[in-house]
Amino acid sequence: MIKELIVVEGKDDTTAIKRAVEADTIETGGSAINDAVIRRIRLAQERRGVIVFTDPDHAGERIRKIIAKAVPGVKHAFLTQSEATSKGDIGVENASVESIREALSKVRTDTQASESLIEWEDLMDAGLIVHPQAASRRLLVGNKLGIGYCNGKQFYNRCRMFQITREEFEAAARDLYDADQEGAAQ
């Protein structure tokens, strides 16, 4: 049984989580998250801890940001868009049992660190910003790090919030370097 309560968007997400693990959930009811839900999440954080596990889309990211701002110290689990997509629909409810378990095994804590271990220049050097394939490169590295896909600024913020170490970042970015070398050899 997972000790923390898992915050999801809806009933279908709860069903998917319960198929994969033994856990309790709080449903936000979609992206129109209200004060009553935030109060329940705060109480859950105080008593048991919280894992935010929203869809890897714009609405899910919006919910994640609202919760992280209102309830400091929550944990985060991420699915890739490909893991959460079925017939053009993106959502936790579409993920396999294995994908859900894997995402929950890589939970990250939002520490609100004031200084980043990764600098903005590191993202530039790795081609994660100001690069023709920056978006696809961030997708690959974000999935490797378990922090999901986002734009360059949010990627930098997640590296800071989740205290991604230079070693973790370099290991994930090394795959980009290897792919670049393979592409250049062809």
Mean pLDDT calculated for residue range 98-120 = 81
pLDDT on residue 169? 93
pLDDT on residue 184? 55
Per-position b or e across 123-141, b if 16+ CB within 10 A of its CB? beebbbbebeebeebbbbb
Which CATH code fits 1-110?
3.40.1360.10
Q: Where in the chain is the domain with CATH 3.40.1360.10?
A: 1-110
Does position 18 have pLDDT exceeding 90, yes or no? yes
Structure tokens at 136: 């696809």
Mean pLDDT calculated for residue range 45-73 = 94
Does position 89 have pLDDT exceeding 50, yes or no? yes
Residue bearing the bigger pLDDT, 22 or 184 = 22
pLDDT on residue 40? 96
For residue 104, give the nearest of 11, 20, 13, 10 by alpha carbon: 20
Mean pLDDT calculated for residue range 11-30 = 96
Mean pLDDT calculated for residue range 144-151 = 90
Does position 185 have pLDDT exceeding 80, yes or no? no
Q: What are the helix and strand counts (H, E) for the chain?
A: 8, 7
Structure tokens at 43: 């109480």
40 with 18: CB under 8 angstroms?
Answer: no
Does position 100 have pLDDT exceeding 80, yes or no? yes
Does position 114 have pLDDT exceeding 50, yes or no? no
Determine the distance from the C-alpha atom of residue 51 to the mean position of all C-alpha atoms in its chain, rounded to a whole number.
Answer: 11
pLDDT on residue 31? 80
For residue 109, give the nearest of 152, 88, 131, 78 by alpha carbon: 78
147 with 78: CB under 8 angstroms?
Answer: yes
Mean pLDDT calculated for residue range 105-119 = 73
CA 52, 160, 34, 30 torsion-angle sign: negative
